[in-house]
């Protein structure tokens, strides 16, 4: 049996999308910003780099090895948009993994005929996971500059951090690519449900069954 091209593409794209979204989820580079730290007592000013992810934030002094990372906390952790993005990404990873398992079982490379309905169900889960990833990325990107921002109480002005100019970072782009790949892979698996694979051996078997045998006596 010849496996449909859409099914092959779906089987390749779905795990690739899962890996890209997973990489985006675990890396603390969804947004980044920088600010100038004024030196004390004539010290040279330093550039401070700040990066945030879904579960981790980092601070680094530019052009040095001074870097510190910690789990997200405070206003950023409790921000409803950040928590929504976390839930959507986790749901996306789970659905994509389940979809890949279903599609792999449905393809049944060890037999002549795949279970096309099972493959389609797996494709549906993969496509939904891609939509969840893109929704999470859209929510985060739309609110990127205000996530976790809160007003500093007037009686504690010395705790105010320098103003950061925030913009999208590398992990966010990985996530966008991964979400799109998930959708493409899921749709490809869904399309394979409508494509009936060619099975030469099956047609030959059917022809043999339809052949009538007659005894001819001379």
| Residue of 137, 129, 131 whose CA lies nearest to 15 | 129
Domain that holds residue 48: 5-149+165-194
Within-domain flag for 206:
no
CB 88, CB 135: distance < 8 Å: yes
**Residue 214, domain member (yes or no):** no
Q: What is the DSSP letter of 158?
A: G
Q: How many CB atoms lie within 10 A of CB 59?
A: 13
Q: What is the pLDDT of residue 7?
A: 80
| Domain assignment of residue 216, yes or no | no
At residue 79, the pLDDT reads: 92
| pLDDT on residue 153 | 43
Number of domains in the chain: 1
Residue 199: C-alpha distances to residues 43, 104, 111, 202, 212 (Å)? 77, 20, 11, 5, 23
Closest to 30 in 3D by CA, of 92, 91, 93, 81: 81
Question: Does residue 71 belong to any structural domain of this protein?
Answer: yes
Sheet containing 56-61, strands listed edge to edge, beginning at the edge strand earlier in sequence: 67-71, 56-61, 46-52, 31-37, 165-168
User: Two tokens at 172?
Assistant: 């966010």
- Could you give the residue ranges of the DSSP H alpha helices within the chain? 5-26, 74-78, 80-107, 116-142, 170-191, 200-210
Q: Which two tokens stand for residue 213?
A: 């045998």
* Any domain includes 54: yes
Q: In what helix (H) or strand (E) does residue 50 lie, and over which residues does it extend?
A: strand 46-52
Rounded Cα distance, 114 and 108, in Å:
5
Token reading at 173: 């782009």
Give yes or no for a contact between 45 and 37, defined as CB atoms under 8 angstroms apart.
Answer: yes
CATH number for position 79: 1.20.140.150
pLDDT per residue rounded down to tens, the chain (218 residues) = 455 677 888 889 999 999 999 999 999 999 998 877 765 555 677 788 889 999 999 988 877 778 888 898 888 889 999 999 999 999 999 999 999 999 888 876 556 677 888 888 999 999 999 999 999 999 999 998 888 876 444 443 433 445 667 889 999 999 999 999 999 999 999 887 665 555 555 445 455 545 554 454 54
Alpha carbon distances (Å) from 52 to 11, 36, 76, 178: 32, 18, 9, 19
What does the pLDDT read at residue 126? 96
Tell whether 204 is covered by a domain: no
Beta bridge partners of 47: 36
């Amino acid at each position: 049996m010849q496996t449909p091209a859409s099914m092959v593409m779906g089987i390749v794209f779905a795990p690739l999308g899962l890996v890209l979204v997973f990489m985006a989820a675990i890396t603390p580079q969804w947004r980044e910003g920088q600010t100038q730290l004024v030196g004390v007592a004539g010290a040279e000013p330093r550039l401070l780099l700040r990066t945030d992810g879904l579960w981790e934030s980092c601070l680094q002094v530019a052009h040095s090895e001074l870097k510190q990372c910690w789990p997200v906390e405070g206003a950023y952790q409790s921000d409803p948009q950040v928590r929504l993005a976390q839930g959507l990404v986790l749901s996306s990873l789970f659905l994509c993994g389940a979809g890949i398992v279903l599609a792999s079982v449905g393809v049944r490379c060890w037999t002549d005929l795949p279970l096309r309905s099972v493959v389609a169900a797996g494709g549906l889960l993969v496509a939904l996971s891609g939509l969840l990833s893109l929704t999470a990325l859209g929510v985060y990107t739309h609110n990127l500059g205000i996530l976790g921002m809160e007003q500093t109480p007037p009686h504690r002005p010395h705790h105010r951090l320098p103003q950061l100019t925030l913009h999208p970072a590398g992990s966010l782009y990985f996530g966008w690519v991964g979400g799109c790949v998930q959708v493409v892979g899921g749709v490809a698996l869904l399309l394979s449900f409508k494509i009936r694979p060619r099975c030469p051996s099956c047609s030959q078997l059917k022809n043999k069954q339809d052949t009538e045998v007659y005894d001819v006596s001379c």
